[in-house]
A and B are shown apart, each in its own frame.
Chain A
Amino acid sequence: MKKLTGLLIVVLLAVVGLYIGSIQLDRSQGITGNNTLNLYNWGDYIDPDLLTQFEEETGYHVVYETFDSNEAMYTKVQQGGTAYDLAVPSEYMVERMRDEELLIEIDHSKIEGLDHLVPKFLDQPFDPDNQYSIPYFWGTLGIVYNENLVDGDEMNTWADLWDPQYEESILLIDGAREVIGLALQKNGYSLNSTSDAELAVATKDLNALADNVKAVVADEIKMYMIQEEAAIAVTFSGEAADMMWENEAIKYILPEEGSNLWFDNFVIPQTAQNIDAAYAFINFMLDPEIAAQNADYIGYSTPNQSAMELLPEETIADEQFYPGEEKIGNLEVYEDLGPKYLGIYNDLFLEFKMQ
């Protein structure tokens, strides 16, 4: 008993000591509520050097928190109790959060550098006139393959994934919209389809794909492809860029049937405490040099025209990451399906996973 009490006291003292220490540390760095920016972003989605640079230039302290899905981010913001000043949802989530009044309208007089962005990426249907969001990165969904294991000439379309020679060799991204979307596009339908007949065709096709699927995973795809655990994967362009950096045999293609075009965007949630810091950060990231450095680090495609000019020639010339007009025309942006069809998509996906 005495020992236990002693142990308890030691633990309590350590806790108090650490708490006081952390307050002291914060104070010595000049961190108080007023000059903190709470940034809520995807994991590994910004060059950490830029955060330091931002802190040095503006004096704001950045608290960086990460999420791994739009829905997880949405749930946290919607439930309240958080004080995120800036979040980075994808387009369909911007639409949904705007409709549910979770976002603060952006005051364009406080934004500098919007003219650096490619005009065709502004004023998108999910957010007319960019009232609530500023694009951060954009990209596509496509097929990654290892050219040592797969013949590149035989991999051009979504339909090629169904080829029986790829038995047990495909990794799929764990997302209902992505997987059902590719089956819809394979059949020439829109990936925002809300036609039950079209969905039935897509599901039937997907079930036939199950034999070729090795696993349905998320971030781990990167690791598995680099280690050559799998030959083929369906994933996002930026992930592909990372893999290609690590393993030269890896190639990325945009399927000929078309694919998904997505945007991740800065938004200011209703929960924001420090709106000035949010604007300061948006402006900082719109700066062409900063945006170029960030794009070079992350590997996704920047919507910043002026930054593109600063990027290496071969990056911009790469049709798979900066597709030309003709290919971009083939790409579709996700629309918010509404709860009913979102539910249906997810149930179909769950059924597919159970195969």
Chain B
Amino acid sequence: MNRQARKYFFIPYTLWLGFFVFIPMALIVYQSFFNIQGEFTLENFITYFTSSTYLSMTLNSIVFALLITVFTFLISYPTAYFLTQAKNKQLWLLLLILPTWINILLKAYAFIGLLSQDGSINEFLAFVGIGRQQLLFTNLSFLFVATYIEIPFMILPIFNAIDEISPSYISASKDLGANQWETFRRIIFPLSMSGVRSGVQAVFIPSLSLFMLTRLIGGNRVITLGTAIEQHFLVTQNWGMGSTIGVVLIVAMFITMRITREKKKGRHKE
């Protein structure tokens, strides 16, 4: 294929990136410099970084996002690992992905049913003699549901990464006298790090701004940056402040990408 023709193939991608990635991001950054009276100012950023409300909200969001990511990882890694060993792995994978086809709102409502005072979980607790607990509107239930929802997004990349490891590496490791654990620790885990990174990126960033779950499951007792953005765009109509929080999230995304990026140590690169 000649160079000329190849150029044309890039047009759709360039347009897509331009219209749906760069222009919206530029607009958010641009908006964040305007206060509610429409004057150009740094006021929003000053407000953000000097207000204890926003700062503690940011801290809150980060702590929750971290916890969600850690729990998701702890559940997903073993699952992904055993999946690659399973017989009908594609079928099992499909079963794990199936819940993502169901709308998140429906899932949230299903959890309300499970966690409520008369829900199945409380029925069970009462049956075994522990007694009914307040489950809904607690930090724990929020973490639980958020983790559940994010799990497929962590399993998939990890599964792919482990699945791609050539079996000859593992055989070689065993031939050289490594036991199961050593093979896992020295071969499989390091080679699956790329999947872990993608998984962390796919879970951490969205978790920073989960806002529907904070209301439905957390009863607004859990507040994340997403809640504040929603409120600024819809209620106060203070788009500048909303965009400022958006900019903070974009920066957080870059930082996360930076931390989790692949370290180039000069050795082989794909």
Contact = CB atoms under 8 A, between A and B. Distances in A.
B41 interface: no
Interface in A331-348: 339-340, 342-343, 346-347
A168 interface: yes
Interface stretch (B94-102, B165-173, B212-220): B212-220
Interface string A170-197: 0100101000000000000000000000
B103 interface: no
Nearest to A228: B117
A69 B235 CA distance: 9
B36 interface: yes
Contacts of A229: 116-118, 136
Interface string A13-37: 0000000000000000000000000
B137 A215 contact: yes
A339 B235 contact: no
B231 A346 contact: yes
Given A168-B134, A227-B116, A227-B118, A174 B215 contact: yes
Interface string B209-246: 00000011011110100011001111111100000000
A340 B215 contact: no
Contacts of A171: 219
Interface string B101-112: 000000000001
Interface centre among A174, A228, A347 (most CB of B within 10 A): A347
- Dominant secondary structure at the B interface: loop
Contacts of A4: none
Interface residues of B, number: 30
B220 A347 contact: no
B236 A342 contact: yes
Given A75-B233, A339-B237, A346-B235, A354 B116 contact: no
A71 B238 CA distance: 12
Contacts of A350: 53, 57, 223, 227-228, 231
Interface in A42-70: 69
Interface in B14-67: 36-37, 53, 56-57, 60
A220 interface: yes
Interface in A218-259: 218, 220, 224, 227-229
B227 to A, nearest CB: 8
A351 interface: yes
Nearest to A176: B235
Interface string B234-269: 111110000000000000000000000000000000
Given A174-B215, A216-B220, A216-B221, A343 B236 contact: yes
17 contacts: A69-B235, A75-B233, A176-B235, A215-B219, A216-B215, A216-B219, A224-B116, A227-B117, A339-B237, A342-B236, A343-B236, A347-B53, A350-B228, A353-B227, A354-B56, A354-B57, A354-B223
Nearest first, the 4 closest Cβ-Cβ pairs linking A and B are: A215-B219, A216-B220, A215-B137, A346-B236
Interface of B: 36-37, 53, 56-57, 60, 112, 116-118, 134, 136-137, 215-216, 218-221, 223, 227-228, 231-238
